[in-house]
Structure 1
Amino acid sequence: MEPLEPGKKLEKLWEELSSQINTDDPQQIVAFLDKITPADTALAVSRLNPEEQTRLLTLLNPEDAADVIADISDTQGADLIEELQPGHAAAILEELDSDHIVDILGELDEADASAIIDQMTPVEAEKARQFLTYAPDSAGGLMISEYLDFQSNQTVQDVLEELQNNREKYAEYDVQYLYVTDDNNHLQGVLRLRDLLFPKRTTKLASLMISNPFRVNANDSLLQLHNFFEEHNLFGVPVVNDDSRLLGIVLPEAVAEEKHNRSTDQFLGFSGIIGGEEFRSMPLLARSGRRLSWLSLNVVLNILAASVIAFYQDTLAAVIALAVFLPMVSDMSGCSGNQAVAVSMRELSLGLVRPTELLRVLAKEASLGVLNGLALGILLGAIAYVWKGNAFLGLVVGGALAVNTIVAVSLGGLIPLLLKRAKLDPALVSSPLLTTVTDMCGFFFVLSFASLVLEKL
């Protein structure tokens, strides 16, 4: 194949990949994929129809198919893998890094994942089952099993011979350290590669290793891992179980990627996209279901807010100017409340606040709510007075905004903590719940205050 022309339009990439698939020539397909970037591969594969995607993975050998899976998101990769026969899917997954295998399997339903694991080699199947027992964002869920370990009584010569004899296999490993274990795989020490350069070939590893090295437990959280790599500038850290048996290695880039994924999930939750990532290449019904599950809940919540207006419809009809200020009061209070939600979410993720510290958070946010509520209330009340020349109208809308801001900020700080205690996802539920409460309270405060001074308006 000729190299891709510089500046070639992206629109042609999936068309060309489609034509390559139609040749039924795996070598030609691989040659094309080698000439484009991973991002372009992800784009091209996503634009193929489902039949072409399955045919692509079927035509390629497992190693080349695994390269394609590695270039696309885990969600898309799982969608492609589940369309294959379990044996073929297992052969492809075995070519991926261990942490990537678990990420893909974790996206599948239990039956499909089990069928694929059953087709793996016994060693790879056992690793996959073990990795799946850990939370995806824990050290056990993020670790890789591609590492090098040796016995303390082995020599530098033994290590060099092992590396040379298996150089093709180990070339794919992210080798920065060598680990020293005993007969029961207990972690004893670590060696840097440079530690092997100058000693005599007959030197035993026990005399070169760094004893009692840094380690993390398989159940350590993402926050603990992030803090570890912030404190220690290492290329990786060994993962052990409660008995100090070496299980795998966690790399700092895996922690950074998982933090990014968590931020993405939280953003999607705030945006009303639940059930994981959504791509426009996914089936229409699946995409519709993910969005409707949040939107239908929002309809119910908005009906509750609107019912307050219906209850005070006579007051609203008597003073039509109130209709102008109702959305302003609810929206401004909602913005203040969402600021508090964001702070609580951030502090929860960093471990700076516990879900049980409700009174502390309430005190902090309520005091801030009073200050901001008074400032915003005076501002909006002054605008209402200047517009209509009615001081009572200014007091009604300004007072309603001030009180509603206090309520919104206080609840905004508390809701994520309460949801966390109830084992619900704060990123998903906090925003619509707070919006409904601030709308209901805002409408109630404006219309009830107006009812008290209706004759003055």
Structure 2
Amino acid sequence: MSDTAEQILNSVDEAERPWIQLARLAEVGSADLLLEYVETLSTTDRALALSRLDEAHRIQVLEGLAPEDAADLIGDLSEAQAARVIELLNPDSAAAIVHELPSDEQADVLGDLSDHHAAAILDAMPDDEAESARALSAYDDDVAGGMMVLEMLRFTGDMTVADVIEELNRNSETYSDFDVRYAYVCDESGTLLGVLPMQNLLFVKRSARLTDLMISNPLSVRVDTSLDDLIEFFDDHQFVGVPVVDDLGRLKGVVHREAVSYEETRAAESDYLKSQGIVGGEELRTMPLWLRARRRLSWLSINIVLNIGAAAVIAYFQDTLQAVIALAVFLPIISDMSGCSGNQAVAVSMRELSLGLVRPNELFRVWWKEVSVGLINGAVLGFLVALVAVIFDGNIYLGLVVGLALFANTVIAVSIGGVVPLALKRFGFDPAVAAGPLLTTVTDMCGFFLVLGLATIWLSRLV
């Protein structure tokens, strides 16, 4: 690091964090010093520092760096974070940075912007690049068209090795950021003819035609191929990438293995957040306060209404609960254990749906499979909690009440947990969002009803 940069950073207390140092350097206004410091940070620290800056300093940092360096910095952020940072800039500055991003990242960032901001940035970009970005943005993130890149080596079948070498030399700067392990050979209409490993060009005559060196009839995927199918494809084939074609077989782009892995991870994270009630499947604490509060409240408000039903069951049997206060000890156990069993069933159904191993209309098959497990696990868990109840209170009927209730509620929970995701999927709802709350509410209500209902029947033997 240069002496000037060292001097500036030494003036910052060691306890201060990277975003403080980044802000100080941005205020100096030297692109070289700013880049020098950014390059010393890890990927994690870059994202942390940029996300912690206030809006004014974010603008200073991004406008203080060269567009290609600012694009590298933004590339360390999630799409949602990157979009919020880009929105702070004027359209010309934003367009210069977006121009330096790979085509798939361009589409992701522009897709997360408001229509107004995206349109302004696209208007400031070169016409051909803006057209490509609009085309990619039209695809969903979880299909091949939304994950593919347009940066690839594309040649026509009538070209020779000499033609290719000349083309590479003439456009070496453009191709320097491409993945150049493979090239794609097309006819004049753009139809994919073959894949050319670039190593095949090394030991052949320069007059050799590409059609004689390429791998003919290569595997490819269509632009609408789903993420699940792409995951399966790369599991079956050790490729670094696969060409993407349209309905007519014309080459549109390339999907890389790492892009599919990234989307797989992001989808899993999104499903987890949705299952925890984070509406939209993403939340970061750098998001606006009221947006975060509104998203959470929209889910919590529904949950409080659902939980009133469970509370109503307890209220209905309050005389029984007052008479046998020991039941209060076991109510949370019945609820929690049944919920755990149900969540296991939800997880299996979600996994099988994602892998295509079960169809949304196979409700009876899934229900029967889960009931079989529920009968065994419910019997074991019911016996264990009954034994604890007898030891705790010395009353065998208390053991019967809580044991039977847990047995029956476990069967109910796995039935609901196995079937509800399929039913939600069949009717067009997101099972990751709705399955958990439905399961929790119903198992709580049924558990409380079973415990208190059975206790009411045997009340004379429990008091």
Instruction: Classify the TM-score, shorter chain.
Output: over 0.9
Q: Secondary structure at the match of 2:195?
A: strand
- Tell me if 1:270 matches 2:269: no
Give the Cα separation in 2 of the matches to 1:139 and 1:381: 54
Q: CA shift at 1:9, angstroms? A: 6.4
Give the Cα separation in 2 of the matches to 1:326 and 1:34: 57
Which residue of the partner structure matches residue 252 of structure 1? 257
Give the Cα separation in 1 of the matches to 2:24 and 2:440: 50
Q: Secondary structure at the match of 2:453?
A: helix
- Tell me if 1:211 matches 2:216: yes
With over 3 angstroms needed to count, the CA separation of the structure-2 counterparts of 1:109 and 1:418, relative to structure 1, is farther
Which residue of the partner structure matches residue 406 of structure 1? 411
Q: Secondary structure at the match of 2:75?
A: helix
Match of 1:387 among 384, 392, 408: 392
Which residue of the partner structure matches residue 242 of structure 2? 237
Give the Cα separation in 2 of the matches to 1:170 and 1:39: 28
1:304–1:440 CA contact under 8 A, matched in 2: yes
Give the Cα separation in 2 of the matches to 1:355 and 1:309: 35
Deviations 1:240-275 (A, max 9, x none): 000001000000000011101011112212232222
Give the Cα separation in 2 of the matches to 1:119 and 1:357: 51
Match of 1:68 among 68, 73, 78: 73
- Tell me if 1:337 matches 2:342: yes
- Tell me if 1:195 matches 2:187: no
- Greater Cα shift, 440-449 or 123-132: 123-132
| Residue identity matched to 2:302 | L
Q: CA shift at 1:43, angstroms? A: 1.4
| Residue identity matched to 2:267 | R
Matches within 5 A, 1:146-157: 146-157=151-162
- Tell me if 1:58 matches 2:48: no
Give the Cα separation in 1 of the matches to 2:393 and 2:167: 87
Which residue of the partner structure matches residue 362 of structure 1? 367
Give the Cα separation in 1 of the matches to 2:400 and 2:182: 69
Give the Cα separation in 2 of the matches to 1:12 and 1:107: 29
With over 3 angstroms needed to count, the CA separation of the structure-2 counterparts of 1:242 and 1:445, relative to structure 1, is same
Deviations 1:36-56 (A, max 9, x none): 222221111111112211222
2:271–2:281 CA contact under 8 A, matched in 1: no
1:408–1:434 CA contact under 8 A, matched in 2: yes
1:176–1:235 CA contact under 8 A, matched in 2: no
Deviations 1:373-431 (A, max 9, x none): 11111111121122222121111111111000000011001111112122222222211
Which residue of the partner structure matches residue 351 of structure 2? 346
| Residue identity matched to 1:368 | V
Match of 2:437 among 421, 432, 441: 432
| Residue identity matched to 1:211 | S
2:382–2:402 CA contact under 8 A, matched in 1: yes
Deviations 1:228-248 (A, max 9, x none): 111111121100000001000
Q: Secondary structure at the match of 2:360?
A: coil
Which residue of the partner structure matches residue 47 of structure 1? 52
Q: Secondary structure at the match of 2:158?
A: coil
2:27–2:60 CA contact under 8 A, matched in 1: no
Q: Secondary structure at the match of 1:71?
A: coil
1:75–1:107 CA contact under 8 A, matched in 2: yes
Match of 1:95 among 96, 100, 112: 100
With over 3 angstroms needed to count, the CA separation of the structure-2 counterparts of 1:290 and 1:15, relative to structure 1, is same
- Tell me if 1:131 matches 2:136: yes
Unaligned runs of 5+ in 1: none
- Tell me if 1:115 matches 2:123: no
- TM-score w.r.t. the length of structure 1 is 0.96
Unaligned runs of 5+ in 2: none
Which residue of the partner structure matches residue 304 of structure 1? 309
Deviations 1:323-367 (A, max 9, x none): 111111111100100011111111111111111111110000011
1:361–1:413 CA contact under 8 A, matched in 2: yes
Deviations 1:28-78 (A, max 9, x none): 211211222222211111111122112222232322221111122211101
Q: CA shift at 1:120, angstroms? A: 1.9
| Residue identity matched to 2:214 | M
Give the Cα separation in 2 of the matches to 1:321 and 1:291: 36
Which residue of the partner structure matches residue 24 of structure 2? 19
Which residue of the partner structure matches residue 320 of structure 1? 325
With over 3 angstroms needed to count, the CA separation of the structure-2 counterparts of 1:237 and 1:10, relative to structure 1, is farther
Give the Cα separation in 1 of the matches to 2:51 and 2:134: 29
- Tell me if 1:30 matches 2:5: no
- Greater Cα shift, 327-336 or 105-114: 105-114
| Residue identity matched to 1:296 | S
Give the Cα separation in 1 of the matches to 2:236 and 2:108: 27
Q: Secondary structure at the match of 2:293?
A: helix
1:54–1:83 CA contact under 8 A, matched in 2: yes
2:374–2:411 CA contact under 8 A, matched in 1: yes
Q: CA shift at 1:277, angstroms? A: 2.4
Give the Cα separation in 1 of the matches to 2:266 and 2:313: 39
| Residue identity matched to 2:26 | I
What is the Cα-based RMSD across aligned positions, in Å?
1.6
The percentage of counterpart residues that share the same residue type is 52
- Tell me if 1:181 matches 2:181: no
2:31–2:65 CA contact under 8 A, matched in 1: yes
Give the Cα separation in 2 of the matches to 1:111 and 1:357: 44
Q: CA shift at 1:10, angstroms? A: 8.1
With over 3 angstroms needed to count, the CA separation of the structure-2 counterparts of 1:112 and 1:212, relative to structure 1, is same
Q: CA shift at 1:175, angstroms? A: 1.6
Which residue of the partner structure matches residue 286 of structure 1? 291
